[in-house]
Amino acid sequence: MDWQQIASLCIVALSAALLVRSSLVKKKKRGSSACGSCDGCGNKERP
Amino acid sequence: MMRTMPTPAITTVALVGNPNCGKTTLFNALTGLRQKVGNYPGVTVEKKEGIVSSVNGRDITLLDLPGTYSLIASSPDEQVVADVLLGSLKNTPVPDAVICVVDASNLERNLYLVSQIIDHGLPTIVALNMMDVAEQSGVRIDVRHLSDALGVPVIPTVAKKNKGTDDLRAALLAGPAPSSRAMQWTLPETVQRELDELSGMLSAAHKYRSVVAHHTALLLLSSPAAPDEGRTDISPEIRAHVRQDHEKLDFLGIDRYSVFIEARYKWIKQVCAYASSPSLSTGASLSDRVDAVLTHKFWGVLIFFALMSVMFQMIFSWAELPMDLIGHGFDAVSARVGSVIPPGDVHDLIVNGVISGVGAVVMFLPQILLLFFFLSILEDSGYMSRAAYVMDRIMSSVGLHGKSFIPMLSSFACAIPGIMATRTIEHPKDRLVTILVSPLMSCSARLPVYALMIAAFIPQYTLLGVVSLPGVVLISLYALGLVAALAMAWTLKKTFLKGTSLPFLMELPPYKMPSLKSTAIHMWERGFIFLKKAGTIILGISIVLWFLATYPKTENATPSERLAQSFVGRAGKFIEPAIKPLGFDWKIGIGLLSSLLQREVFVSTMGTIYNIQDDSAGSMREAMQRDVNPDTGKPVFTALTAICIMVYYVLAMQCLSTLVVVRRETNSWKWPAFQFFYMSALAYAVTFGVYRAGLMLGY
Ligand SMILES: Nc1nc2c(ncn2[C@@H]2O[C@H](COP(=O)(O)OP(=O)(O)OP(=O)(O)O)[C@@H](O)[C@H]2O)c(=O)[nH]1
Ligand SMILES: [Mg+2]
């Protein structure tokens, strides 16, 4: 294993973890009024 | 008018008014938020909250609500308004005050709701919006007289230009009071007596607050049939009483439904006569003359389809140049990175995974921006309602009505707002059918897939010197989605969602010049969302996909063999037998698998795997064109394969978010499951048919 291989595997693991986390967080937020998953209606609230 | 009552602290205020009178515009002006505004009724379909900050630190929560003509609701979005005002929504407190937004150019009709709100007994302020439109059409309103007649403060506003919003905010902070003019309209004596009696019984038996009791009594008296055993919220004695009342009033020849409406309108006419002078203009206005053409039985339909065709043709041809530029940009970055990082896995990950995957999707930003440019104009100009009106005849031939066409048009952007927009449909079965077919309309996520396939495999051929073949193909794909949606709606209405539709009523809003600024903001927001998605989810998926397409590593093999041996290669090979009848090979299979939950991922997947497989310089488009199936010696992609892929993407349900929203809107997993299966089956069957037909024709 060279350094590039190790580094690339780390990046892959990190992205996979982030992807899983983001899909879990989304599920939690969904529920009450806003649809939580939509990016289609343009109802982007300004913070 | 001076008010001397002590002002209780106001914390929650609801914005109520007829559809399209400018509630959301006012809401945005008061809260600084940017909720969606559009020039057609039914833009807002659910409750939205915002904060109006005050100087003394007592912030007010403002609720933006869907538009309604009456508190007696006929569709799910209108029900929200009644529910909020009656306090029957779980997590929303009854508002302490109401801002009733009135379209000044349409005073009489708008006052109907105002009179209902005033009867509700909540502190009320009337925002007399669209004063500019009223003035233009020659309607004159005496604000002081109107305020006297209604017994509440009236504040003239032009929400779009931010005029009068400061006065409104000041009035809000000063603390409005309930109207002294509630229940000024008079019912025939017998009706009034029954109403009072029933309302008294309801408060006694169910401990209803007087407003709720009054509202419920009115609803019960005016509904066509007395409540049956299904209404467990109403006691059997009251049910019996209502039945007696119905018999009695019917016997007296009183139309229980219109008697209340007529009584209110009588009062409203008096108010209008006192406070406004009718419009002086006579004869057909310019807008009426334009409507005569645009809503014409024949020309209207023709113009609609012509407009759509021009729109998609433009999306294709205008995007070409910027798209090429972005493509070259990514190629340059790729070459640069390639020369900086020494060969190895990190190099491959960045060049093949990240840059090719994300770049393949980002390349289609121009198409997305153009699509939203046209959709934004469609929504702001007022044409949306005309399109629904014109399509009413076609829609009614499949058993729906024109109103269902607005959700379908909105689905060109994304099926999710389309499905939300079905809340304006009164008939539950019609609403369900519309929800089930809306995702067949081509959404913006499909556009990159279409654009990739068309650019690579449909020859640049100009027909009749004006229309290009790629443009025609794109239009046909959108048309296929529409036809499939209509056919499916027809089938559903004929089989297990039978039911007759109610007559179609659709208000045609006045034409407005779309403002460049709001169009630009809209495009910017949409472009940003698209890029954000590319930079987060698609980036992540591309990285993981690179891994799955690289491991397990095979030594001493050609790149193509190595791909075939990788995880995704094996997965693609695994499903190949199932998709071979559609003319797809295992590499397309990888794309189908990875885009199962999100369509655009097909494009990034192709970007990644074709970069892994094809080391030679040149774009992914060229790599795809060059790719040859080693078994048959024929190209993997032909024009026919490309068309089959696109047809599959038109019809297949590959969007998890949509399924989740359908589940929420229909309250069961049954319908999204049904939707998933019918769309997948339809996609498979039609693609198979197209492939076979294509082969037979010798392609
Ligand atoms: N001329 C003029 N146009 C206005 C004014 N206020 C709002 N508009 C426009 O009227 C249209 C409707 O505005 P919205 O704020 O979406 O109306 P709404 O009452 O929220 O509509 P629904 O949510 O569909 O019930 C938009 O095109 C606005 O730009 C105004 O004071 N004058
Ligand atoms: Mg609105």
Q: Please give the ipTM for the structure prediction.
A: 0.78
Cα(B424) to ligand 2 centroid in Å equals: 12
Q: Which domains does chain B have, with CATH numbers?
A: 12-174 (3.40.50.300), 189-253 (no CATH)
Interface test with B, best of A19, A39, A44 (most B CBs within 10 A): A39
Mean pLDDT calculated for residue range B491-504: 77
The 10s digit of each residue's pLDDT in B470-486 is 889 999 999 999 999 99
B224 CA → ligand 2 middle, Å: 31
Each residue's pLDDT tens digit, B244-258 = 888 888 888 888 888
Size of interface A-B (CB pairs under 8 A): 96
The Cα of B657 is separated from the nearest Cα of chain A by a number of Å equal to 6
What is the best residue among B37, B77, B133, B383 to mutate for testing ligand 1's pocket, by most ligand atoms within 8 Å of CB?
B37
Looking at residue B515, its pLDDT comes to 86
Whether B159 has a pLDDT exceeding 60, the answer reads yes
Determine the residue of chain B that is closest to A9 in CA distance.
B547
- Decide if B36 and A33 are in contact by the 8 Å CB cutoff: no
At residue B242, the pLDDT reads: 87
Q: Considering only CA atoms, which of B625, B538, B522, B646 is closest in space to residue B583?
A: B646
The DSSP code sequence of B594-663 is HTSS-TTHHHHHHHHHHHHH--SSS-HHHHHHH-B-TTT-SBS--HHHHHHHHHHHHH----HHHHHHHH
List of chain B residues whose C-beta atoms are within 8 Å of the C-beta of residue A9:
345, 547
For A37, which residue in chain B has the nearest alpha carbon? B657
CA distance B609 to B118: 65
Share of chain B above pLDDT 90, in %: 48
Per-residue model confidence (pLDDT) at position B284: 62
The minimum-distance atom of ligand 1 relative to the CA of B380 is 27
In this prediction, residue B431 carries a pLDDT of 93
pLDDT at B297: 86
Task: Provide the shortest C-alpha distance from residue B489 to chain A (in Å).
Answer: 23
Given a cut of 50, whether residue B2 has pLDDT beyond it is no
Write out the residues surrounding ion ligand 2, Cβ under 5 A.
B 23-24, 43-44
Q: Give one DSSP letter per residue of B27-81, joined into a string.
A: HHHHH-------SSTTS--S-EEEEE--TTS--EEEEE----S-SS-SSHHHHHH
B15, B16, B18, B20: which to mutate for ligand 1, most atoms within 8 A of CB?
Answer: B20
- The residue nearest atom 2 of ligand 1, judged by CA position, is B130
pTM equals: 0.88
Report chain B residues whose CB lies below 8 A from the CB of A45.
33-35
At residue B643, does pLDDT exceed 70? yes
> Which 3-state string (H, E, C) describes B152-165?
CCEEECEHHHCECH
Residues from chain B that touch A12, judged by Cβ atoms under 8 A, are: 349, 543-544, 546-547
Q: At residue B22, does pLDDT exceed 80?
A: yes
CA nearest ligand 1 atom 10, residue = B22
Torsion of CA B40, B44, B49, B52, to 10 degrees: 10
3-state DSSP assignment of residue B215 = helix
pLDDT, mean of residues B343-357:
89
Residue of B nearest to A43 (CA): B35
H helices, E strands: number in chain A: 1, 0
pLDDT at B426: 86
> What gap in Å lies between CA B443 and CA B471, rounded to an integer?
17
Pocket of ligand 1 (CB under 6 A): B 17, 19-25, 37-39, 41-44, 66-67, 129-130, 132-133, 158-160, 380, 512
Question: Looking at this protein, which amino acid is placed at residue B555?
Answer: E
Which of A2, A12, A22 is nearest residue B544 as measured by Cβ atoms? A12
Q: Spell out which residues of chain A touch residue B537, defining contact as CB-CB under 8 Å.
A: 19, 22
Expressed in angstroms and rounded, the spacing between residue B207 Cα and the centre of ligand 2 is: 34
pLDDT of residue B183: 75
Q: What is the rounded end-to-end Cα distance, in angstroms, of chain B?
A: 80
How does pLDDT run across B176-225, given as a tens digit for each residue?
888 777 777 888 888 888 888 898 888 888 888 888 888 888 888 888 87
Instruction: Identify all chain B residues contacting A42, using CB atoms and an 8 Å cutoff.
Output: 36, 417, 522, 525-526
Closest residue CA from atom 30 of ligand 1: B130
| Chain B: residues touching A (Cβ < 8 Å) | 32-36, 46-49, 91, 342, 344-349, 413-417, 420, 443-444, 522, 525-526, 529, 533, 536-537, 539-541, 543-544, 546-547, 657, 660-661, 664
Minimal Cβ distance to A43: which of B35, B536, B543: B35
Q: What pLDDT is attached to residue A43?
A: 42
Q: How many angstroms away from the CA of B218 is the closest CA of chain A?
A: 29
Give the C-alpha separation, B353 to B192, whole Å.
Answer: 74
Out of B32, B444, B533, closest to residue A46 by CB: B32
* Least confidently predicted of B230-244, B381-395, B544-558, B578-592: B230-244
pLDDT of residue A33: 36
Inter-chain CB proximity B415 and A40 less than 8 Å = yes
Q: Region A2-6: what's the mean pLDDT? A: 86
Tell me the one-letter amino acid at B622. Answer: E
Q: Poorest-confidence range of A18-27, B117-126, B146-155, B642-651? A: A18-27
Closest ligand (CA of B22): 1
Residue-level pLDDT at B685:
97
CA distance B52 to B64: 12
Span B552-560, average pLDDT = 83
Q: What are phi and psi of B292, to 5 degrees?
A: -55, -35
pLDDT at B440 > cutoff 90: yes
Distance of CA B685 to the CA centre of its chain: 29
Take residue B503 and report the two structure tokens written for it. Answer: 């007559």
**Inter-chain residue contact A5 with B345, CB threshold 8 Å:** yes
Determine the distance in angstroms separating the CA of A7 from the nearest CA of chain B, rounded to an integer.
7
Q: Do A37 and B657 touch (CB under 8 A)?
A: yes
**Closest residue to B417, CB basis, from A2, A11, A38:** A38
Counting ligands in written order, the one closest to the CA of B25 is 1
* Least confident residue range of B327-336, B552-561, B672-681: B552-561
What DSSP element (H or E) covers B475?
A: helix B469-494
Of A4, A32, A40, the CB nearest to B414: A40
Look over chain B and give the mean of its residue pLDDT values, rounded to a whole number. 88
Distance of CA B597 to the CA centre of its chain: 21
- In this predicted structure, what is the pLDDT of residue B7? 52
At residue B473, the pLDDT reads 93
Q: What is the pLDDT of residue A32?
A: 34
Task: Please report the pLDDT score of residue B228 as a whole number.
Answer: 75
Residue A32 is nearest to which of B33, B91, B536, comparing CB atoms? B91
Q: Which helix (DSSP H) or strand (DSSP E) does residue B238 occupy?
A: helix B236-251
Q: What is the pLDDT of residue B167?
A: 92
Expressed in angstroms and rounded, the spacing between residue B661 Cα and the centre of ligand 2 is 20
- What percent of chain B has pLDDT above 70? 96
